[in-house]
Amino acid sequence: MKTLCNCPRWLKITGLVVLLLTVVLGIVGYNRFMRDYGATVFDNPDDRFKYGSMGAENDAGIPYWIFYVLPRVFPDKLPKPGVGYASFGVVWEEGQELPVGFSKRRIGFDRVANTCASCHVSSYRTQADETPTLVVAGPNHTLDLEAFFRFLVDCAKDPRFNADTLMAEIELASKLDFIDRMAYRYLIIPITKKRLTEREGQFQWLYRHDFPEWGRGRDDAMNLTKYFMIRWPMDDSFGPTDMPSVWNLKKYQPEKGHRMNFAGDSHDPYSVVIDSALGLMGAEPKDKDDFLGHIDWLVDYLKNKPAPKYPFPIDAARAAHGKSVFDANCAACHASARTGTIVPLAEIGTDRGRINTWGKQAAIEANKVVSDMGIQRKGLVEAPLTGYVAQFLDGIWLRAPYLHNGSVPSLADMLAPPAQRPQVFWRGYDVYDQTKVGFVVQGPEAERAGTPLDTRLRGNGNGGHSFGTSLPAGDKTDLLEYLKTL
Ligand code: HEC
Ligand code: HEC
Q: Is 63 in the pocket of ligand 1 (CB under 6 A)?
A: no
> Is the distance from CB of 135 to CB of 121 less than 8 angstroms?
yes
pLDDT, tens digit, 9 for 90 and up, residues 250-284: 999 999 999 999 999 999 999 999 999 999 998 89
Q: How far is the CA of 303 from the centre of ligand 1 (A)?
A: 14
Cβ neighbors of 390 (< 8 A, separation 6 or more) are 333, 334, 338, 339, 340, 341, 342, 343
| 7 has pLDDT over 90 | no
Kindly give the distance from the C-alpha atom of residue 276 to the centroid of ligand 1, in angstroms, as a whole number.
6
Binding pocket residue ranges, ligand 2, CB within 6 Å: 262, 329-330, 332-334, 343, 347-348, 350, 388, 390-391, 396, 399, 402-404, 411, 414, 465, 467-468
Hey, whose CA ends up nearest to atom 10 of ligand 1? 243
Q: What is the pLDDT of residue 443?
A: 96
Q: How far is the CA of 486 from the centre of ligand 2 (A)?
A: 14
Question: Quick one: pLDDT band at residue 2, thresholds 50, 70, 90?
Answer: low
CA neighbor of 369 nearest in space, from 441, 275, 255: 275
Distance of alpha carbon 432 from alpha carbon 430, whole angstroms: 6
Q: Which residues of 176-188 are buried (b: 16+ CB within 10 A; e: fewer)?
A: beeebeebbbeeb
Contact (CB, 8 A) for 396 and 483? yes
Q: Is the peptide bond before 190 cis (omega within 30 degrees of 0)?
A: no
Tens digits of per-residue pLDDT, 285-318?
989 999 999 999 999 999 999 999 999 999 999 9
Q: Residue type for 64, please? A: Y
Residue 137 · residue 49 · CB < 8 Å: yes
- Which ligand 1 atom sits closest to the C-alpha of 243? 12
Ligand 1 contact via 262 beta carbon (within 6 Å):
yes
For ligand 2, atom 19: residue with the closest CA: 390
Cα separation of 88 and 101, whole Å? 13
Q: Say which residues have a Cβ less than 8 Å from residue 284's Cβ, sequence separation at least 6.
A: 373
Q: Is 381 in the pocket of ligand 1 (CB under 6 A)?
A: no
Q: Is residue 240 lining ligand 1, measured as CB closer than 6 Å?
A: no
Structure confidence at residue 245 as a pLDDT band (50, 70, 90): very high
- Contact in structure between 467 and 220 (CB atoms under 8 Å): no
Kindly state the greatest CA–CA separation across the chain.
Answer: 105
Band of pLDDT at residue 4, cut at 50, 70 and 90: low
From CA 454, how far away is CA 424, in angstroms rounded?
Answer: 5
* Spacing of C-alpha 87 from chain mean position: 16
| Neighbour-count burial for 326-347, b at 16+ CB within 10 Å, e otherwise | beebbeebbbeeebbbbbebee
pLDDT value at residue 3: 55
* Ligand 1 geometric centre to CA of 273 (Å): 8
What would the pLDDT profile of 86-100 be if each residue is shown by its tens digit? 999 998 898 899 999
Ligand whose nearest atom lies closest to the CA of 303: 1
CA of 465 to the centre of ligand 2 (A): 6
**Which range among 2-16, 47-61, 165-179, 412-426 shows the weakest confidence by mean pLDDT?**
2-16
241 Cβ closer than 6 Å to some ligand 1 atom: yes
